[in-house]
């Protein structure tokens, strides 16, 4: 999978459907939540197809449950395959986590222990999913609030080992690194500098809620300054990587998100890319 730089994109939200269709704002690309379009028809699908005619898209899932010890959910994979066929996305991503067990879905991105058992299990399942979909996928690092006693390595070693064994790619959520760093007391720079530059194909940027002793990944605020600083570091390390701003709550008019996109663009523009480690 080549590193295709799509530019600066937004997560597609129903609140913005009309605005995007009527005004075609200058957004380079859009990311959809796959499961929101696992419906037969009607307005959401209609808007999706219309918007797809104008904008490059990627599909981002939340229910693959790649880390679950349940069998892979075949009907989920069929739905995903069907939507891939309809949308022809640039790529497909989900999260390095688990969401369901025993056929009960938490609809949350639950953390895995960073153990050999989990690495083997997840890497095997990613390979199976990539076989079914006939393409490599991207997996995103999640925000987490707890650490299991059986974890034997930091998160960055876990994710590096998983993606290298499974031969998949990383959707690096820079806000999630910041949130987890605050919650677990590690240095976000150490995380970023440990990630293989050849494996990262997309960035996420988002806002969070700071409770002092801990931080929650709420996607309901603007991106904060420490996350912008980490974004700059990521641009230096990884070069031009397709960048997407996520907003899921307290959703503002598109213009205010466009100004955040402009800021991301200027961070990359001001990065001296000749010194990056990006190889491809």
19 binds, among Fe ion, another protein, none (CB under 5 to 8 A by kind): none
For residues 181 and 189, give the distance between their C-alpha atoms in angstroms, rounded to a whole number: 9
131 binds another protein (CB under 8 A): no
Q: What character string, x for contact with another protein (CB under 8 A) and - otherwise, covers 240-269?
A: ------------------------------
Q: Which stretch binds another protein (CB under 8 A): 86-94, 129-137, 212-220, 256-264?
A: 212-220
Q: Which stretch binds another protein (CB under 8 A): 24-32, 117-125, 238-246, 259-267?
A: 117-125
119 binds another protein (CB under 8 A): yes
270 binds another protein (CB under 8 A): no
| Closest separation in Å from C-beta 20 to Fe ion | 20
For residues 168 and 126, give the distance between their C-alpha atoms in angstroms, rounded to a whole number: 8
- The single residue among 72, 84, 101, 251 that binds another protein, judged by CB under 8 A, is 101
Residues constituting the chain = 280
3-state secondary structure (DSSP) of residue 240: coil
For residues 278 and 280, give the distance between their C-alpha atoms in angstroms, rounded to a whole number: 6
- The single residue among 2, 22, 41, 134 that binds another protein, judged by CB under 8 A, is 41
Task: Identify which of residues 126 and 261 has a Cβ nearer to another protein in the complex.
Answer: 126
173 binds, among Fe ion, another protein, none (CB under 5 to 8 A by kind): Fe ion
151 binds, among another protein, Fe ion, none (CB under 5 to 8 A by kind): another protein
For residues 90 and 55, give the distance between their C-alpha atoms in angstroms, rounded to a whole number: 11
- 50 closest CA partner among 90, 82, 10, 19: 19
Task: Identify which of residues 73 and 243 has a Cβ nearer to another protein in the complex.
Answer: 73
Task: Identify which of residues 173 and 260 has a Cβ nearer to Fe ion in the complex.
Answer: 173
- The single residue among 18, 54, 120, 259 that binds another protein, judged by CB under 8 A, is 120
Task: Identify which of residues 28 and 157 has a Cβ nearer to another protein in the complex.
Answer: 157
Helices 225-238 and 174-184, interaxial angle, to 10°?
120
Neighbours of 259 (CB within 10 A): 10
18 binds another protein (CB under 8 A): no
For residues 59 and 23, give the distance between their C-alpha atoms in angstroms, rounded to a whole number: 23
173 binds another protein (CB under 8 A): no
Distances (CA, A) of 77 to 30, 132, 211: 22, 8, 37
- What is the C-alpha end-to-end distance of the chain, expressed in Å? 10
Helices 43-52 and 74-87, interaxial angle, to 10°?
50
Residues that bind Fe ion (CB under 5 A): 173, 204
Distances (CA, A) of 103 to 7, 132, 139, 170: 38, 21, 22, 27
For residues 192 and 203, give the distance between their C-alpha atoms in angstroms, rounded to a whole number: 12
The pair phi, psi for residue 146, each rounded to 5°, is -145, 160
- The single residue among 2, 104, 225, 279 that binds another protein, judged by CB under 8 A, is 104
Binding residues for another protein (CB under 8 A) = 35, 38-46, 63, 65, 68-69, 71, 73, 76, 79, 98, 100-108, 110, 112-113, 115-121, 124, 145-151, 153, 157, 161, 183-185, 213-214, 216
């Amino acid at each position: 999978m080549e590193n295709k730089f799509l530019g600066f994109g937004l997560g597609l939200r129903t609140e913005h459907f009309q605005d995007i269709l009527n005004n075609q704002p200058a957004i380079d690309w859009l990311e959809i939540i796959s499961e929101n379009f696992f419906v037969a028809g009607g307005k959401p699908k209609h808007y999706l197809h219309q918007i797809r005619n104008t904008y490059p898209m990627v599909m981002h899932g939340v229910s693959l449950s790649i880390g679950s010890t349940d069998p892979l959910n075949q009907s989920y994979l069929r739905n995903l395959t069907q939507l891939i066929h309809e949308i022809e996305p640039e790529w497909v991503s989900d999260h390095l986590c688990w969401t369901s067990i025993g056929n009960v879905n938490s609809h949350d991105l639950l953390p895995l222990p960073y153990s050999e058992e989990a690495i083997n299990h997840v890497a095997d399942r990613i390979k199976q999913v990539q076989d079914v979909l006939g393409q490599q996928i991207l997996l995103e690092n999640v925000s987490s609030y707890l650490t299991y006693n059986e974890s034997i390595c930091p998160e960055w070693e876990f994710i590096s080992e998983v993606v290298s064994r499974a031969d998949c790619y990383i959707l690096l959520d820079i806000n999630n690194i910041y949130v987890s760093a605050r919650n677990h007391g590690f240095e976000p720079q150490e995380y970023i500098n440990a990630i293989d530059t050849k494996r990262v194909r997309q960035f996420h940027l988002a806002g969070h809620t700071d409770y002092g002793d801990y931080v929650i990944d709420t996607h309901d605020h603007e991106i904060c300054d420490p996350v912008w600083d980490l974004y700059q570091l990521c641009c230096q390390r990884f070069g031009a990587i397709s960048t997407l701003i996520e907003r899921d709550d307290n959703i503002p008019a598109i213009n205010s998100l466009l100004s955040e996109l402009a800021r991301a663009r200027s961070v990359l523009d001001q990065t001296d890319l000749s010194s990056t480690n990006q190889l491809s």
